[in-house]
Amino acid sequence: MTEKPLTVKIPIVMTIAGSDSGGGAGIAADLKTFAALGVHGTCAITSITAQNTTGVLEAFDLTPAAVASQIEAVCADMDVKWAKTGMLASSEIVREVAKDVRKHGLSLVIDPVMAAEAGGDLLRKEAISVLIEELLPFCKVITPNASEAGVLAGIEVKTPKDAKIAARKIAGLGVETVIVTGGHLDATDLLYEAVSDTFTRIPGTFVKGGTHGSGCTYSAAMTAFLACGKSMEVAARESKKFVVEAILKSLPAGRGVNPVNPLG
Ligand code: PLP
Protein backbone atom coordinates (compact mmCIF):
# COMPACT_ATOMS: atom_id res chain seq x y z
CA MET A 1 0.00 0.00 0.00
CA THR A 2 1.38 3.41 -0.88
CA GLU A 3 1.53 5.99 1.87
CA LYS A 4 -0.72 9.00 1.52
CA PRO A 5 1.32 12.22 1.20
CA LEU A 6 1.35 14.32 4.34
CA THR A 7 -1.19 17.09 4.14
CA VAL A 8 -0.15 19.16 7.15
CA LYS A 9 2.23 21.76 5.80
CA ILE A 10 5.09 23.07 7.91
CA PRO A 11 6.70 26.38 7.01
CA ILE A 12 9.78 26.08 4.81
CA VAL A 13 12.51 28.62 5.51
CA MET A 14 15.97 29.27 4.09
CA THR A 15 19.31 30.40 5.45
CA ILE A 16 21.75 32.12 3.09
CA ALA A 17 24.97 32.03 5.09
CA GLY A 18 28.45 30.59 5.61
CA SER A 19 29.35 27.17 6.95
CA ASP A 20 31.43 26.77 10.12
CA SER A 21 33.50 23.58 10.14
CA GLY A 22 33.37 23.67 13.95
CA GLY A 23 29.58 23.21 13.80
CA GLY A 24 28.87 26.21 16.01
CA ALA A 25 27.74 29.19 13.93
CA GLY A 26 26.43 29.93 10.44
CA ILE A 27 24.47 27.26 8.57
CA ALA A 28 24.95 24.71 11.40
CA ALA A 29 23.39 26.99 14.03
CA ASP A 30 20.61 28.02 11.67
CA LEU A 31 19.56 24.49 10.66
CA LYS A 32 19.67 23.29 14.28
CA THR A 33 17.47 26.23 15.29
CA PHE A 34 15.00 25.59 12.46
CA ALA A 35 14.77 21.92 13.45
CA ALA A 36 14.27 22.77 17.12
CA LEU A 37 11.45 25.18 16.25
CA GLY A 38 9.60 22.77 13.94
CA VAL A 39 10.13 24.41 10.55
CA HIS A 40 11.84 22.85 7.53
CA GLY A 41 15.21 24.49 6.97
CA THR A 42 16.87 24.79 3.58
CA CYS A 43 20.19 26.49 2.85
CA ALA A 44 22.33 28.31 0.33
CA ILE A 45 25.99 28.37 1.37
CA THR A 46 27.89 31.58 0.61
CA SER A 47 31.32 30.67 1.95
CA ILE A 48 33.01 27.65 3.49
CA THR A 49 34.99 28.60 6.58
CA ALA A 50 37.76 26.52 8.11
CA GLN A 51 37.00 27.38 11.72
CA ASN A 52 36.93 26.13 15.28
CA THR A 53 36.10 27.68 18.66
CA THR A 54 39.32 29.73 18.60
CA GLY A 55 38.57 31.55 15.34
CA VAL A 56 38.30 31.51 11.56
CA LEU A 57 41.46 30.13 9.94
CA GLU A 58 40.41 30.48 6.29
CA ALA A 59 37.31 31.25 4.27
CA PHE A 60 36.59 29.99 0.76
CA ASP A 61 33.89 32.15 -0.79
CA LEU A 62 31.60 30.58 -3.35
CA THR A 63 30.87 32.33 -6.64
CA PRO A 64 27.66 34.38 -6.88
CA ALA A 65 26.50 31.85 -9.51
CA ALA A 66 26.91 28.99 -7.01
CA VAL A 67 24.86 30.90 -4.43
CA ALA A 68 22.16 31.75 -6.99
CA SER A 69 21.97 28.14 -8.14
CA GLN A 70 21.29 26.85 -4.62
CA ILE A 71 18.54 29.45 -4.06
CA GLU A 72 17.02 28.68 -7.47
CA ALA A 73 17.04 24.91 -6.89
CA VAL A 74 15.16 25.24 -3.60
CA CYS A 75 12.72 27.95 -4.65
CA ALA A 76 11.84 26.19 -7.93
CA ASP A 77 10.54 23.24 -5.93
CA MET A 78 9.56 24.42 -2.45
CA ASP A 79 7.30 27.14 -1.16
CA VAL A 80 9.84 29.24 0.77
CA LYS A 81 8.34 32.46 2.17
CA TRP A 82 10.87 33.54 4.82
CA ALA A 83 14.66 33.54 4.58
CA LYS A 84 17.57 34.92 6.58
CA THR A 85 21.02 36.03 5.61
CA GLY A 86 24.16 35.57 7.71
CA MET A 87 27.75 35.71 6.40
CA LEU A 88 27.62 37.18 2.89
CA ALA A 89 31.40 37.56 2.44
CA SER A 90 31.66 39.81 -0.64
CA SER A 91 29.98 42.65 -2.57
CA GLU A 92 29.31 40.25 -5.45
CA ILE A 93 27.43 37.81 -3.20
CA VAL A 94 25.45 40.62 -1.51
CA ARG A 95 24.38 41.87 -4.98
CA GLU A 96 23.39 38.39 -6.13
CA VAL A 97 21.38 37.70 -2.97
CA ALA A 98 19.55 41.04 -3.32
CA LYS A 99 18.56 40.01 -6.86
CA ASP A 100 17.43 36.51 -5.81
CA VAL A 101 15.44 37.71 -2.80
CA ARG A 102 13.43 40.02 -5.08
CA LYS A 103 13.05 37.39 -7.80
CA HIS A 104 11.56 34.86 -5.38
CA GLY A 105 9.60 37.35 -3.28
CA LEU A 106 11.27 36.21 -0.04
CA SER A 107 10.48 37.96 3.24
CA LEU A 108 13.92 38.57 4.64
CA VAL A 109 15.60 38.70 8.06
CA ILE A 110 19.11 40.16 7.82
CA ASP A 111 21.71 39.28 10.42
CA PRO A 112 24.43 41.74 9.32
CA VAL A 113 27.32 39.43 10.20
CA MET A 114 30.63 41.27 9.91
CA ALA A 115 33.14 39.37 12.06
CA ALA A 116 33.44 36.19 14.11
CA GLU A 117 33.43 36.67 17.88
CA ALA A 118 36.70 34.76 18.24
CA GLY A 119 38.25 36.72 15.35
CA GLY A 120 38.03 36.80 11.55
CA ASP A 121 36.31 39.07 9.02
CA LEU A 122 33.16 37.57 7.51
CA LEU A 123 32.17 40.52 5.31
CA ARG A 124 34.72 42.52 3.32
CA LYS A 125 34.82 46.19 4.27
CA GLU A 126 33.86 47.32 0.75
CA ALA A 127 30.74 45.12 0.87
CA ILE A 128 29.22 47.09 3.77
CA SER A 129 28.00 49.95 1.55
CA VAL A 130 26.61 47.42 -0.95
CA LEU A 131 24.74 45.69 1.90
CA ILE A 132 23.31 49.04 2.99
CA GLU A 133 22.32 50.24 -0.47
CA GLU A 134 21.27 47.05 -2.23
CA LEU A 135 20.00 44.57 0.37
CA LEU A 136 18.75 46.49 3.42
CA PRO A 137 15.81 48.11 1.58
CA PHE A 138 14.44 44.63 0.82
CA CYS A 139 14.34 43.18 4.32
CA LYS A 140 11.54 43.01 6.87
CA VAL A 141 13.81 43.05 9.88
CA ILE A 142 17.51 43.46 10.63
CA THR A 143 19.15 42.13 13.81
CA PRO A 144 22.50 43.89 14.41
CA ASN A 145 24.41 43.63 17.67
CA ALA A 146 25.74 46.88 19.13
CA SER A 147 28.92 47.01 17.06
CA GLU A 148 27.16 46.06 13.80
CA ALA A 149 24.48 48.69 14.53
CA GLY A 150 27.28 51.22 15.01
CA VAL A 151 28.85 50.41 11.64
CA LEU A 152 25.50 50.57 9.81
CA ALA A 153 24.45 53.81 11.50
CA GLY A 154 27.89 55.43 11.36
CA ILE A 155 28.01 56.14 15.11
CA GLU A 156 29.52 54.49 18.17
CA VAL A 157 27.01 52.35 20.08
CA LYS A 158 28.11 52.06 23.68
CA THR A 159 24.90 52.69 25.63
CA PRO A 160 21.18 51.81 25.28
CA LYS A 161 20.63 55.48 24.31
CA ASP A 162 23.12 55.11 21.44
CA ALA A 163 21.24 51.94 20.38
CA LYS A 164 18.03 54.00 20.03
CA ILE A 165 19.74 56.59 17.86
CA ALA A 166 21.33 53.86 15.73
CA ALA A 167 18.03 51.98 15.32
CA ARG A 168 16.32 55.12 13.95
CA LYS A 169 19.24 55.79 11.61
CA ILE A 170 19.17 52.21 10.29
CA ALA A 171 15.40 52.41 9.76
CA GLY A 172 16.14 55.56 7.76
CA LEU A 173 18.09 53.36 5.32
CA GLY A 174 14.77 51.76 4.32
CA VAL A 175 14.27 49.02 6.93
CA GLU A 176 10.83 48.46 8.54
CA THR A 177 12.03 46.86 11.78
CA VAL A 178 15.38 47.04 13.56
CA ILE A 179 16.32 44.93 16.57
CA VAL A 180 19.57 45.95 18.23
CA THR A 181 20.48 42.86 20.23
CA GLY A 182 21.75 43.75 23.64
CA GLY A 183 24.18 40.99 24.45
CA HIS A 184 27.03 43.50 24.45
CA LEU A 185 25.20 46.37 26.23
CA ASP A 186 22.73 45.68 29.08
CA ALA A 187 21.24 42.30 28.02
CA THR A 188 18.10 44.08 26.79
CA ASP A 189 17.19 43.96 23.10
CA LEU A 190 15.72 47.07 21.52
CA LEU A 191 12.94 46.56 18.97
CA TYR A 192 12.22 49.58 16.77
CA GLU A 193 9.24 49.59 14.41
CA ALA A 194 9.47 52.45 11.95
CA VAL A 195 5.81 52.52 10.81
CA SER A 196 4.60 53.41 14.29
CA ASP A 197 7.90 54.98 15.43
CA THR A 198 7.82 52.77 18.55
CA PHE A 199 10.57 51.28 20.67
CA THR A 200 9.93 48.11 22.68
CA ARG A 201 12.45 46.85 25.19
CA ILE A 202 12.85 43.08 25.28
CA PRO A 203 14.56 42.42 28.61
CA GLY A 204 16.95 39.58 29.26
CA THR A 205 19.63 38.58 31.72
CA PHE A 206 23.28 37.86 31.19
CA VAL A 207 23.82 34.12 31.51
CA LYS A 208 27.01 32.08 31.69
CA GLY A 209 27.84 29.91 28.71
CA GLY A 210 29.38 29.74 25.25
CA THR A 211 28.05 32.35 22.84
CA HIS A 212 29.56 31.28 19.51
CA GLY A 213 26.64 31.20 17.07
CA SER A 214 24.30 33.18 19.34
CA GLY A 215 23.61 35.89 16.73
CA CYS A 216 22.95 33.26 14.05
CA THR A 217 20.67 31.33 16.41
CA TYR A 218 18.74 34.49 17.32
CA SER A 219 18.13 35.54 13.70
CA ALA A 220 17.24 31.97 12.67
CA ALA A 221 14.71 31.83 15.54
CA MET A 222 13.22 35.16 14.34
CA THR A 223 12.89 33.69 10.83
CA ALA A 224 11.19 30.53 12.15
CA PHE A 225 8.76 32.38 14.43
CA LEU A 226 7.83 34.91 11.72
CA ALA A 227 7.32 32.06 9.23
CA CYS A 228 4.93 30.52 11.78
CA GLY A 229 2.87 33.72 11.75
CA LYS A 230 3.98 35.33 15.04
CA SER A 231 4.00 39.11 15.29
CA MET A 232 7.33 40.95 15.29
CA GLU A 233 7.16 41.59 19.06
CA VAL A 234 6.18 38.03 20.00
CA ALA A 235 8.87 36.64 17.66
CA ALA A 236 11.46 38.94 19.28
CA ARG A 237 10.48 37.87 22.82
CA GLU A 238 10.42 34.16 21.94
CA SER A 239 13.73 34.37 20.06
CA LYS A 240 15.37 36.08 23.03
CA LYS A 241 14.19 33.28 25.34
CA PHE A 242 15.36 30.66 22.83
CA VAL A 243 18.88 32.08 22.50
CA VAL A 244 19.30 32.45 26.28
CA GLU A 245 18.42 28.73 26.69
CA ALA A 246 20.85 27.83 23.87
CA ILE A 247 23.66 29.72 25.66
CA LEU A 248 22.81 28.07 29.01
CA LYS A 249 23.02 24.64 27.34
CA SER A 250 26.18 25.46 25.32
CA LEU A 251 28.62 22.66 24.76
CA PRO A 252 32.22 22.55 26.09
CA ALA A 253 33.41 21.63 22.59
CA GLY A 254 36.78 23.37 22.27
CA ARG A 255 39.31 25.69 23.87
CA GLY A 256 37.87 29.00 22.66
CA VAL A 257 34.38 30.53 22.53
CA ASN A 258 32.13 27.49 22.83
CA PRO A 259 29.06 27.01 20.64
CA VAL A 260 25.49 27.61 21.73
CA ASN A 261 23.25 24.56 21.69
CA PRO A 262 19.91 25.24 19.99
CA LEU A 263 18.95 21.58 20.32
CA GLY A 264 19.57 21.50 24.08
N1 PLP B 1 28.45 32.88 10.13
C2 PLP B 1 29.59 32.18 10.12
C3 PLP B 1 29.91 31.28 8.99
C4 PLP B 1 30.44 32.30 11.19
O5 PLP B 1 31.54 31.59 11.17
C6 PLP B 1 30.13 33.17 12.28
C7 PLP B 1 31.00 33.32 13.41
O8 PLP B 1 32.01 32.74 13.55
C9 PLP B 1 28.96 33.88 12.24
C10 PLP B 1 28.16 33.69 11.15
C11 PLP B 1 28.55 34.81 13.33
O12 PLP B 1 28.43 34.13 14.51
P13 PLP B 1 27.68 34.70 15.79
O14 PLP B 1 26.32 34.10 15.75
O15 PLP B 1 28.50 34.20 16.91
O16 PLP B 1 27.63 36.17 15.63
Q: Cα(157) to centroid of ligand 1, in Å? A: 20
Give pLDDT, residue 1: 55
Give pLDDT, residue 205: 85
Give pLDDT, residue 164: 95
Rounded to two decimals, what is the model's pTM? 0.95
Q: Give the gyration radius of the chain's Cα atoms.
A: 17
Eight-class DSSP state of 137: G
Give pLDDT, residue 187: 87
Instruction: Using the atom order of ligand 1, give the atom closest to the CA of residue 145.
Output: 16
Say how many C-beta atoms besides its own lie within 10 A of residue 125's C-beta.
Answer: 10
Q: What are phi and psi of 47, to 5 degrees?
A: -160, 145
Q: Cα(166) to centroid of ligand 1, in Å? A: 22
Instruction: Using the atom order of ligand 1, give the atom closest to the CA of residue 211.
Output: 15
Give pLDDT, residue 186: 81
Q: Cα(103) to centroid of ligand 1, in Å? A: 27
Q: Cα(172) to centroid of ligand 1, in Å? A: 26
Q: Select from 201, 203, 204 the least CA-distant residue to 191.
A: 201
Half-sphere exposure of 197 (CA within 13 A, CB side): 2
| Ligand 1 within 6 A of CB of 232 | no
Domain range summary for the chain, segments of one domain joined by +: 12-248
Round to whole Å and give the CA distance between 3 and 173.
50
Please give the single-letter amino acid code of residue 47.
S
Which residue's CA is the closest to the ligand 1 atom numbered 15? 213
CATH superfamily for 12-248 is Ribokinase (3.40.1190.20)
Give pLDDT, residue 165: 96
| Ligand 1 within 6 A of CB of 15 | no
Q: Cα(197) to centroid of ligand 1, in Å? A: 30
Instruction: Using the atom order of ligand 1, give the atom closest to the CA of residue 215.
Output: 14
Longest C-alpha distance within the chain, in Å? Answer: 65
How confident is the chain (264 residues) per 10-residue block, as mean pLDDT?
68 98 97 98 98 94 98 97 98 98 98 85 95 97 96 95 96 97 83 97 91 96 98 97 96 93 95
Best residue among 19, 48, 61, 117 to mutate for probing ligand 1, ranked by most atoms within 8 Å of CB: 117
CB burial class (10 A; 0-12, 13-18, 19+) of residue 6? exposed
